[in-house]
Structure 1
Amino acid sequence: MTFDTYVKNADQHFSGWDFSYLSETGRMQSELLPWSYGSMTVSLVQQCESLLDMGTGGGEFLSMLQPFPESVFATEAYAPNVPIAANRLEPLGVTVKQVYDDSTLPFDDHQFDVIINRHESYAPDEVRRILKNGGVFLTQQVGGTDCAEINEALGVPANQEFAHWNLDFAVEELERSRFKVTYSRESFPAQRFYDIGAIIYYLKAIPWQIENFSVEKYNDHLQKIHQHIQKNGYFDVKQHRFILRAEAI
């Protein structure tokens, strides 16, 4: 297809946190991580009585963790996702709450046995407040150098606000907030795009990667990436992921 055809093809609706339009068609593929957040989460959910899923997106992941414990809550900060999550999760017995500030969550002290968090920001002191003594916080995070090659290819500096965000920094933060980190690991898996339309769709879905992104604004750079893919078959970037399991002490 031509560049213009790929651009038109990328104009698709995106909802929740579902990249299946790219991943299920093989237009974007990611290298496997050396851990499974899902496997670690399933084990925790089946052993707890009260659970919080922070940043549930559209509730896609949480909905697959049934059977649930007696008390289950989910939070979401991105307003368009809140009704999507509520429609999916509330019939399953999950209470969905919109949040506005990481440091002020709408929960009681020591309310949860387990708090899970996949790619959502958090305030360590607030997580510790709502987690029971001996409770578990499990989080997989996107590090500060994630997909930096996209920024480089588009001539945009990486967002320095998150440059510090890596495993070591997160461990130190949690330890200062009365957590004991029992498992941690960091990885930089490859993410491969097979057409320029996939990259455009991806950037529209994650607006924090390239602020005020538009095809018109970055047309020349996108054309060069398109030519690179036409010649080599793909465009590779490095993701930045780390995972932490911590117990409240």
Structure 2
Amino acid sequence: MSAMDRTFEEMIAQAEAVDVSGWDFSWLDGRATEERPPWGYQRQMGERIGRAHLHLDIQTGGGEVLAGVPQRASGAMVATEGWPPNIEVAQANLREKGVVIVADEDEPPLPFADNAFDLVTSRHPVMAHWREIARVLAPGGTYFSQHIGPDSGHEVYEWFLGPKPTGKGFREPALARAEAAKNGLEVVDLQEAELKMEFFDIGAMVYFLRKVIWFVPDFSVEKYRDDLLRMHEHIEREGSFVAYSRRFLIEARKSGG
């Protein structure tokens, strides 16, 4: 039975029942797509890990991105995560790589000494605490990260919550550059990309909103059933629901070393 043959209620029920812990989106294969940024974050992250001695990955999620990197640092590798279900997944995914998982609620301060790491990475941090990143970086150390860009996926937000002003958030690349500089880091690379997202059935959207909770923070099927039905009808009519994610790659170095 194809997704198009399944009823609205069946797709909703299936998406509500599936486990959304970790940061693996393979359940969406064939049901949703998102263009990948052109710079290849995981590959570049691996290259830098291979040259590092002490490496910290902040907000590692379920550790899937780090686990998929073939390289490892010559010394210790540490990752932080704040959501308990993700911590268990990360421990399982990163055990073989020898990464120490530290439970951290992502509020300053980071539970590490000053000048501790020569590489700090983070893919899609909820918030980049620049003062703490700079503090735990060793002189000459590098912060390498792919951030969520401004107004990313606002089409999804607006479908459920209505119009909101764009261009006035805290995710602008220029703001990240300024914050890095204010905390003594030199930005050596900054790239931006806009990427097409498509959802081919309503179950994919329910799964996505359960997993990526900041799009519609109070999401539940019960609360938003009318909006979901309206989107289901849109997908049936148009073939998909389209939104655009925005990402930026930033690399910054601490002076000295």
TM-score if structure 1 supplies the norm length?
A: 0.93
1:135-177 CA-to-partner distances (Å, cap 9, x unmatched) read 11001111241111112212345599x8231111111100111
Partners of 2:249 and 2:64 in 1: how far apart? 20
SS at match of 1:145: coil
**Counterpart position of 1:196:** 202
Partners of 1:141 and 1:44 in 2: how far apart? 17
Partners of 2:161 and 2:143 in 1: how far apart? 37
Partners of 2:221 and 2:67 in 1: how far apart? 35
CA contact 1:159–1:209 (8 Å) conserved in 2: no
CA contact 1:102–1:122 (8 Å) conserved in 2: no
Partners of 2:138 and 2:161 in 1: how far apart? 46
2:242 is equivalent to residue 236 of structure 1: yes
What is the one-letter code of the residue matched to 2:69?
L
CA-CA distance at 1:228 after TM superposition: 1.0
Between stretches 114-123 and 89-98, larger displacement belongs to 89-98
What is the one-letter code of the residue matched to 1:108?
A
Partners of 1:228 and 1:169 in 2: how far apart? 36
Between stretches 12-21 and 149-158, larger displacement belongs to 149-158
TM-score if structure 2 supplies the norm length?
A: 0.90
Matches for 1:109-124 after TM superposition, within 5 Å: 109-120=114-125, 121-124=127-130
SS at match of 2:21: coil
Matches for 1:127-142 after TM superposition, within 5 Å: 127-142=133-148
2:68 is equivalent to residue 79 of structure 1: no
CA-CA distance at 1:90 after TM superposition: 3.1
SS at match of 1:241: strand
CA contact 2:161–2:216 (8 Å) conserved in 1: no
**Counterpart position of 1:34:** 38
2:149 is equivalent to residue 143 of structure 1: yes
Unaligned stretches of 5+ residues in structure 1: none
1:97-154 CA-to-partner distances (Å, cap 9, x unmatched) read 0112432111111111111110112211111111011111001111241111112212
Partners of 1:38 and 1:157 in 2: how far apart? 34
Choose from 251, 254, 257 the match for 1:245. 251
**Counterpart position of 2:63:** 59
CA contact 1:74–1:97 (8 Å) conserved in 2: yes
Partners of 1:67 and 1:31 in 2: how far apart? 25
CA-CA distance at 1:186 after TM superposition: 1.3
Partners of 1:159 and 1:101 in 2: how far apart? 27
Q: How many residue pairs end up in the alignment?
A: 246
Matches for 1:2-13 after TM superposition, within 5 Å: 2-11=7-16, 12-13=18-19
CA contact 2:59–2:106 (8 Å) conserved in 1: no
What is the one-letter code of the residue matched to 1:9?
Q
Unaligned stretches of 5+ residues in structure 2: 1-5
RMSD over aligned Cα atoms:
1.7
